[in-house]
Chain A
């Protein structure tokens, strides 16, 4: 079996006096989409931010492609091919759509072919190319945040709740975009609360509770086991259709 692209071992994270991650162990296999699920406050966002180096792990180890990156600064992680889409999307509202994407292209030049592919995924980006990002709708902002993360080929894409606050039609569009993304070499780790979205896209799943991983396995297996869903998440996936 190939080594996982991302592996967390005994990761602890403190934010001020709060002990959020309490020994997180899980692996993200290469070239698939892993869902990180859990109730509110389970530590999912903290987990992503710790991987991205935005909050420092107080104990444990994070390995990316076999290398220890526990203490690696955020910009270096980005240069190694990790892209991050935060829960609040983190778009630059005062910059245009084009400027947001140009900034994410490390060389400062947008690849035309790649751009056309992105426009295919998110046509609104082409439509509002010279518009200020702050004037986009919530769904369009999320599309921009993801477009910015993939404006260049990435090895690992971390996405925090991409469907939060979006209308069902936009979520359907987002599912199609992620299906297209899965056809690339990019490994994706998504924190999500929308179980329909999770079931539609997830290859593997990790479930968090109280700062620990309480379940890992195939997404299909969790989707098929209502009793397990209820035990791990409080509700079955069917309740979220």
Chain B
């Protein structure tokens, strides 16, 4: 689903079809609503974490396993701010909560973005065009970052309570929906809308879309694609940092391995969506989030394999993903 003139609605319809198919299996409408919102929230957070990586892969053909480090570092940066502003977080006031959350999110974005810039310049630049070396050095970079996190923040899990106003649930009929999940859905939608507008309505977006298809031709038209690479890499890293904060608050804890643990599901999402496709990443993340929640409720023993099963089915249907990006 690149922001061109025509939209392929079939994968989007698949999200709706999955929701409808789950209703009779779940059995209870309130439970279904709760699971659906939980799935959408999970999908949105995965999307925020994965969207930068899919663009980085599409534009630069880089397999960056260190993306997980940006997630963890973002979460830790936010945790440092939030722990220091614990008082504001515990007040039952939206203004007070936001006054703590906003600097925390900005710290996460800034630190993850800066780490992304460092990685692009120092770790990844020497291995452009060599996938095997990219996997090796970025995996190594991820491990080093995890150890550095232990050095800076200590080896213990840091509890991260949610802000008071986003704790607890709201009820729609008989369905209880966690406030924080609604917030995650809203933030995810806002990020997606922002990316969509950037890609579809701006010249920068046009350049990124063209670069994902054929970077060499973009250079031949007079654009310095390397600068675009760096900008997208830093933006993608910053988004991973934001996703890290969201995910950490969702789990109410921060630990060094959280980024690495998310990488498996992130790779599944960007493969399902079509490498380089932001729209595909969005739909893929929603499918993964929804399926994980439905299967976790209906058949918990299958929950671990549900993502792999989804990927197999999607790739059997569309071998290049839901929204393949035509590379030339």
Contacts of B224 in A (CB 8 A): 73, 75
Using CB atoms, name the residue of chain B closest to A104.
B221
Using CB atoms, name the residue of chain A closest to B212.
A94
- Taking a contact as CB atoms closer than 8 A, the residue among B2, B5, B210, B325 that contacts A103 in the complex is B210
Contact across chains for B5 and A93 when beta carbons are under 8 A apart: no
Q: How many A-B residue pairs have CB under 8 A?
A: 70
A103-B206 in contact given A88-B328, A93-B326 (Cβ < 8 Å): yes
Contact across chains for B2 and A94 when beta carbons are under 8 A apart: yes
How does the 8 Å CB contact mask read for B1-17 relative to A, with 1 for contact and 0 for none?
Answer: 01011100000000000
Bound form: Cα–Cα A199–B253 in Å: 74
Contacts of A106 in B (CB 8 A): 222
B170 at the interface (CB under 8 A from A): no
Contacts of B328 in A (CB 8 A): 88, 90-91, 93
A99-B206 in contact given A92-B214, A94-B326 (Cβ < 8 Å): yes
Contact across chains for A94 and B209 when beta carbons are under 8 A apart: yes
Contact across chains for B4 and A103 when beta carbons are under 8 A apart: no
Contacts of B118 in A (CB 8 A): none
A132-B4 in contact given A54-B216, A92-B217, A93-B328 (Cβ < 8 Å): yes
Using CB atoms, name the residue of chain A closest to B222.
A78
Contacts of B326 in A (CB 8 A): 93-94, 134
B223 at the interface (CB under 8 A from A): yes
Bound form: Cα–Cα A106–B203 in Å: 11
A48 CB → nearest B CB, Å: 11
Using CB atoms, name the residue of chain B closest to A96.
B5
* Segment 116-151 of A: residues with Cβ below 8 Å from B: 130-132, 134, 148
Interface size of A by CB at 8 A reads 29
Using CB atoms, name the residue of chain A closest to B221.
A104
A96-B4 in contact given A90-B214, A103-B210 (Cβ < 8 Å): yes
Contacts of A93 in B (CB 8 A): 213, 326, 328
A52 at the interface (CB under 8 A from B): yes
* Segment 223-245 of B: residues with Cβ below 8 Å from A: 223-225
Contact across chains for A131 and B222 when beta carbons are under 8 A apart: no
B219 CB → nearest A CB, Å: 4
B157 CB → nearest A CB, Å: 44
Bound form: Cα–Cα A130–B216 in Å: 24
Using CB atoms, name the residue of chain A closest to B227.
A75
Contacts of A104 in B (CB 8 A): 221
Contacts of B5 in A (CB 8 A): 96, 130-132
How does the 8 Å CB contact mask read for B166-195 relative to A, with 1 for contact and 0 for none?
Answer: 000000000000000000000000000000
- Taking a contact as CB atoms closer than 8 A, the residue among B4, B210, B220 that contacts A74 in the complex is B220
A132-B222 in contact given A86-B217, A95-B206, A99-B206 (Cβ < 8 Å): no
Contact across chains for B223 and A75 when beta carbons are under 8 A apart: yes
Contact across chains for A90 and B206 when beta carbons are under 8 A apart: no
Contacts of A96 in B (CB 8 A): 4-5
Bound form: Cα–Cα A79–B221 in Å: 8
* Segment 10-28 of B: residues with Cβ below 8 Å from A: none
- Taking a contact as CB atoms closer than 8 A, the residue among A75, A86, A95, A102 that contacts B222 in the complex is A75
B207 at the interface (CB under 8 A from A): yes
B281 CB → nearest A CB, Å: 15
Contacts of A88 in B (CB 8 A): 328
A108 at the interface (CB under 8 A from B): yes
Using CB atoms, name the residue of chain B closest to A89.
B328
- Taking a contact as CB atoms closer than 8 A, the residue among A52, A75, A92 that contacts B209 in the complex is A92
A32 CB → nearest B CB, Å: 23
Contact across chains for B325 and A78 when beta carbons are under 8 A apart: no
Bound form: Cα–Cα A95–B325 in Å: 11
Contact across chains for A94 and B216 when beta carbons are under 8 A apart: no
A229 CB → nearest B CB, Å: 32
| Most central of A78, A103, A134, A148 by chain B CB within 10 Å | A103
Contacts of B4 in A (CB 8 A): 94-96, 132
Given A75-B225, A93-B326, A96-B4; 10 other pairs, CB 8 A cutoff: A74-B220, A75-B219, A75-B224, A78-B221, A83-B220, A90-B216, A92-B213, A94-B326, A95-B213, A103-B218
A-B contacts, 7 listed (Cβ < 8 Å): A73-B224, A90-B220, A91-B328, A94-B209, A96-B4, A103-B218, A104-B221
A-B pairs, top 4 by smallest CB distance, nearest first, are A78-B222, A90-B217, A93-B326, A74-B219
